[in-house]
Chain A
C-alpha cells in the first residue's frame, strides 16, 4: 500500500539554528497533510497543516512546504529552541469515501536541540 516516509530518522541542531525536517509521500492523490510534534510519553500535538492546493503555509516559527511534483513535504522551524526537541511526524490523508478523516503516518524524525 501507499505510505508516508521520512528521509532522516534523527536530526541534531544547535539552539538558534533553523531546522528542516523532510517527508516523502507516495500517494499522489493525497490532498491534505499535517505535521505533528510528539514529546516523550505524550500524544502528538498538531503543529501545522496544508492542503494540496497550496505550496507553502506559515505559522508561528514554522513553515510547511509542499512539492507535489516530487511528492515531498518539509517542516522548517526557525530559531530552534531546546523545547522543540521531540519526535516529528508527517501524516497524509488520502481522499475519498471511507478514507475521509483517516491519516497515514510516517515513522517520525527525532529532533534534538543542543543548548
Chain B
C-alpha cells in the first residue's frame, strides 16, 4: 500500500544526544514536511522541502536539522540544542508545488519522542 512510514514509533533521548527520526514515502510526492505536536495543541511546522536537495525552515526550526537527498526520504534530526524535545513528531507529504501547491498533505502515524 502507498503511504508514509515513520520510525521508530517511540524514541527516547538522553541529555546531549542527537536523535534522528525517519520518514519515508512511496507516494511519489515532491513535497515533504515535519511538524511538532504538543499535548492539546495543533501542529507547528518545523521544516519543509518542496523538492530534492532543497528545504526551508518552518516556524520552529531552531534545534532541528533535516536533509532531502532522495525524493522518498526526509529524515529529521533533533539536536542537543533543542531544549524541550518531548513531543509527537509528524511527517507529511503532498504532490504540490507551484501552481499545484494546494493539495492535501498526507501524514504518517508519528514518532513520540521523550527525554530520559
Q: Mark A93-113, 1 if CB is under 8 A from B, else 0.
A: 100001011110111100000
In this complex, the interface size class of chain B, counting residues with CB under 8 Å from chain A, is 20 to 34
Q: Which residues in A have their C-beta under 8 angstroms from that of B90? A: 43-44
CA distance A102 to B102 in the complex (A): 9
CA distance A33 to B92 in the complex (A): 16
Interface residue count on the A side (C-beta < 8 Å): 25
Q: Judging by beta carbons under 8 Å apart, are B40 and A102 in contact?
A: no
Q: Judging by beta carbons under 8 Å apart, are B50 and A44 in contact?
A: no
CA distance A105 to B38 in the complex (A): 13
B residues contacting A by CB (< 8 A) are 4, 6, 31, 33, 35, 40-45, 48, 50, 56, 58, 90, 92, 94, 96-98, 101-110, 112
Find the A residue at minimum CB distance from B93: A101
Q: In angstroms, how far is the closest chain B Cβ from the Cβ of A38?
A: 9
CA distance A36 to B94 in the complex (A): 14
